[in-house]
């Protein structure tokens, strides 16, 4: 679950990808339609879509020669469930939360090195 959350948070860290997700809230869209509001190449938008797909936030489906993008809200539910664990406290202590994340990342890195 930790690697999945890392991928989701990394994907959400970029404002372009968050904007793409907002666009897909409306309805499924073709890659060309997703790229239209952005002042970047279709290839650049495709890279963002790839990151969102690998994180499980969207899916892409080829219908003939056209690729359609669809929001996958299940991934965001996983993040929401994880974040709800921190809602049990009266007031969120952001310093403690940051320290917790640092410990988690250090443990993940140590596990990866020992594997």
Is pLDDT at 115 greater than 90 in this prediction? no
3-state secondary structure at position 58: strand
- For the residues 95-100, what does the mean pLDDT come to? 81
Mean per-residue pLDDT over the chain, rounded: 88
- For the residues 33-59, what does the mean pLDDT come to? 96
pLDDT digits (tens, 9 = 90+) for 24-41: 999 999 999 999 999 999
Is pLDDT at 69 greater than 80 in this prediction? yes
The confidence score (pLDDT) of residue 12 equals 93
Give the CATH architecture of domain 2-75: Orthogonal Bundle (1.10)
Is pLDDT at 92 greater than 70 in this prediction? no
Query: Alpha-carbon distance 87 to 103, whole Å?
Result: 19
**Domain locations along the chain:** 2-75, 87-114
Higher pLDDT, 103 or 108: 103
* Single pTM value for the model: 0.72
Strands (E), 8-109: 29-30, 58-63, 66-71
The confidence score (pLDDT) of residue 114 equals 72
């Amino acid at each position: 679950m930790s690697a999945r959350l890392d991928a989701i948070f990394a994907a959400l860290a970029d404002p372009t990808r968050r904007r793409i997700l907002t666009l897909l809230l409306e309805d499924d869209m073709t890659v060309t339609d997703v790229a239209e509001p952005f002042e970047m190449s279709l290839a650049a938008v495709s890279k963002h879509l790839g990151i969102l797909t690998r994180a499980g936030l969207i899916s892409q489906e080829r219908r003939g020669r056209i690729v359609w993008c669809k929001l996958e809200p299940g991934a965001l539910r996983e993040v929401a469930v994880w974040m709800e664990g921190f809602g049990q406290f009266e007031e969120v202590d952001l310093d403690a939360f940051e320290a917790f994340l640092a410990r988690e990342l250090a443990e993940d890195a140590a596990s990866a090195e020992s594997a």
